[in-house]
Amino acid sequence: MISAAENEWQSLAPDGTKVQYFDQCGSTNSLATEAGAKGLPGNTWFVAGKQSAGKGRRGNAWLSETGNLYSSYLARPAVLISELATLPYLVSLAVRDTFIALGCKSESVQCKWPNDVLINEKKASGILIESNAGSGMKCDFIVIGIGLNLKNFPPDARFPATSVLDETSSLVKVTAAFRVLSRALQQRIDSWRPNDVGSMIEEWRACGWGIGMRREIRTNNESFFATLEGVDDTGGLSLRLDDGTMRCLYAGEVFGPPINH
């Protein structure tokens, strides 16, 4: 029997979308991945009131206190794995749409490469996209994990963090945030054409954090400074190193602003 809570969450989602709600779980991304591997159809959200083992990028833990939104979307797009490179830009823009709809000023909400969204230059969301390949390098399914800092945020994060409450003085209900986010993401996915992403990339560039500025870049193997020149249609970050040479980065993190030498 479907619980009253699940009925409520289901009513918030776009038509044709299913919702599985949990008061607490280890990780919504893990639940969605397990369900995808078992053949669950796409267009399914997994939402939790709290996570005990929230997952961030690069193996980092994700703070999961009650009052924030913790969700993962299971989808089965008819695309190749190689066509997923620009998906983080789409998801970041959907999260940006959501924060603006929840009362944040448009000019204060920026997208930070590769898939973070900032409010007043502080991280307010966590996005983790995982994929599973089918035959012939076709995508079997993807899981789009999205956490929104509505009420809480880690005070000791490597990149300064914040919440909607801290930035707007308004406490947004988790249900209200999910209703906005699920629709924003659906609209973005419905209009996504992996081989025609020029306008989406231009939109991302227009609200991209640090573009044209010198920042610290960290990868698994190195740390260096470079000027962010922009992003391209393949998902890469174009960098101008201090010696004037150009480099395109596909994995890593951006910090800053650096101390000028």
Q: How many whole angstroms separate alpha carbon 258 and alpha carbon 85?
A: 28
DSSP secondary structure code for residue 30 in this structure? H
Which is higher by pLDDT, 152 or 257?
A: 152
Please report which confidence band the pLDDT of residue 19 belongs to, taking 50, 70 and 90 as the band edges.
Answer: very high
Q: What is the mean pLDDT of residues 202-207?
A: 94
pLDDT at 5: 72
Q: Where on the phi/psi map is residue 176: left (φ > 0), alpha (ψ -120 to 50), or beta? A: alpha
The predicted-structure confidence for 85-141, as pLDDT tens digits, reads as follows 899 999 999 999 999 999 999 999 999 998 899 999 999 999 999 999 877 789 999
Q: What is the mean pLDDT of residues 236-247?
A: 95
Tally Cβ neighbours within 10 Å of residue 196.
9
Distances (CA, A) of 84 to 58, 169, 171, 200, 231: 18, 36, 34, 14, 15
Lowest mean pLDDT, pick from 46-60, 118-132, 148-162, 190-204: 46-60
Instruction: At 219, list the tokens.
Output: 């990868």
Q: Is residue 173 over pLDDT 60?
A: yes
Q: Is residue 198 over pLDDT 50?
A: yes
The predicted-structure confidence for 20-69, as pLDDT tens digits, reads as follows 999 999 999 999 999 999 999 899 999 999 988 665 554 455 566 789 99
Core vs surface per residue 55-66: b (16+ CB within 10 A) or e: bbbeeeebbbee
pLDDT at 7: 81
pLDDT at 247: 95
Instruction: At 220, list the tokens.
Output: 């698994």
Core vs surface per residue 68-78: b (16+ CB within 10 A) or e: bbbbbbbbbbe
pLDDT at 158: 81
Q: Is residue 192 over pLDDT 80?
A: yes
Q: What is the pTM of this model?
A: 0.91
Please report which confidence band the pLDDT of residue 260 belongs to, taking 50, 70 and 90 as the band edges.
Answer: very low
Average pLDDT, the chain: 90
Q: What is the mean pLDDT of residues 243-255?
A: 93
Secondary structure of 128-197 as H, E, C letters: EEEEEECHHHEEEEEEEEEEECCCCCCCCCCCCECCHHHHHCCCCCHHHHHHHHHHHHHHHHHCCCCCCC
Q: What is the mean pLDDT of residues 6-10?
A: 85
**Element holding 45 (H helix, E strand):** strand 44-48
